[in-house]
Amino acid sequence: MNKHSNFGYSTILLSFIIICILTFTALTLLTANSDFKLSKKVADRNSSYYEAQEQAYDELSDIDRLLLQCYEASPDEETYYESALAAISARFEGTFDTKDGRMLFSFSKSITLDQYLEVSLLLKYPETEIDTFYEIEKWQSIHIDTPFEEQPLNLIGGDN
């Protein structure tokens, strides 16, 4: 008497299929959650960059107006540069340097704790009415490398 029941095979097959579906569902949820977190991080960083860029544009606009006032009040190029240096130093945070005998003004805007926007302007004396008061030498997002503290690597079975 040989009696076989197919009840065991179908139950095992159905259980295996259900476990596979639950595993793939869990993996899909984990992937979607990590993609959401990454997208949020990228969106936050991008909006921080554009906020810093907007602040830099506002400062450029103020510098442009200030340089126009210095230009209109100055009879010659030397007086223009002297008054521009004094006016910009008094009103804005940044550094002055010289490049090819011309004045270079640099300032930065914070994007995140480890990134900032650096802007450098090469000031010019306009020769004609359509000339500008400066050239943008640098408009760059800079990442600050933060060194990692040396920490021991705990390996399995190691007490270091």
Q: Name the one residue in this structure whose structure tokens are 């240096």.
A: 85
CA–CA–CA angle 130, 88, 107 (5° rounding):
95
Strands (E), the chain: 95-99, 102-112, 115-123, 134-143
pLDDT at 101: 78
pTM: 0.70
Q: How far apart are CA 11 and CA 21, in angstroms?
A: 15
Q: Is the dihedral of CA 56, 58, 63, 68 positive or negative?
A: positive
- Rounded CA-CA distance 11/5 in Å is 11
Distance of CA 159 to the CA centre of its chain: 40
Q: What is the pLDDT of residues 94-114, one digit of tens each?
A: 988 887 778 899 999 999 888
Residues in the chain predicted with pLDDT less than 50, given as ranges, are none
The pLDDT value recorded for residue 152 is 66
Q: Whose structure tokens read 């907007």? A: 54
Adjacent-strand bridge partners of 108: 118
CA count, 13 A, side-chain hemisphere, 123: 27
